[in-house]
Amino acid sequence: MKAIRAVIAACIFVSGVSILQTCTNSTALHAQDSSPTTHEHLLVQGCVNIPPGQKRPEFGCFSLATESGLRFSEPAVYWHVRTFPNRAAADAAKSPTGIVVEEDGRVWLSEFGPRDLALEGGQAVAVVGPMELPKAELYAVVLGYAVMRPNDRSIVHVHPGPEGWYMISGEQCLETPAGAIRATAGGTATALPNVPMELTITGTAVRKSLVLVIHDSSQPAGRPSDWKPLGLCAK
């Protein structure tokens, strides 16, 4: 019990570096090879940065890219998700604010703008939004990739900007004070700025998603919250 408390106490938010940090008890890191019905459930605070050359854990949330110093003229933007056959094609198509990453066997391009943003090349996958922006001079965009199993969940936390998801597989439920927001494979979800939330993986399949946070560059990407969920995602 002392060891468990020590690990939990050491699980802190890393301001401005990651959205989330994986927090588990002392046995959860060894649970990655367990089946979804027997594993120790992960408690995730955010997407961690994996240093080059270091093996990435099988489950968790991982930072893919961060872009800072962005300007948006509208009070809300849409996140356009597209795939390309190769990295060179995506790089050629992207705008100065676009983000290209390779993940889950595909090359993804993320672009930001109005819902009817004109884009060329690749295959349109999803349009996530609207993502309502807080007032800021400059924004940072943090793009991550999450792989979590049924009953894994996040800590209760809040972001000073909107968060969005594109669901590659599985199901999730996000509880906020306004209620529960559910999303399934191929779908999208968004959360408003400065709203406390708890994310729970539901269903029976491993959930994979792209996750994005846009926030004021002068503030950390997120922080823990003392808001108490009602357990709506378990109902």
What per-residue confidence (pLDDT) applies to 82? 98
Q: pLDDT by residue (tens digit) across 112-134?
A: 999 999 999 999 999 999 999 99
DSSP state of 173: E
CB 68 within 8 A of CB 147: no
pTM of the model: 0.84
Portion of the chain with pLDDT greater than 70, in percent? 81
Closest CA to 211 of 91, 103, 135, 133: 103
CA 165 to chain centre: 6
Low-confidence ranges of the chain (pLDDT < 50): 1-38
Domains of the chain, start order: 65-229 (2.60.120.10)
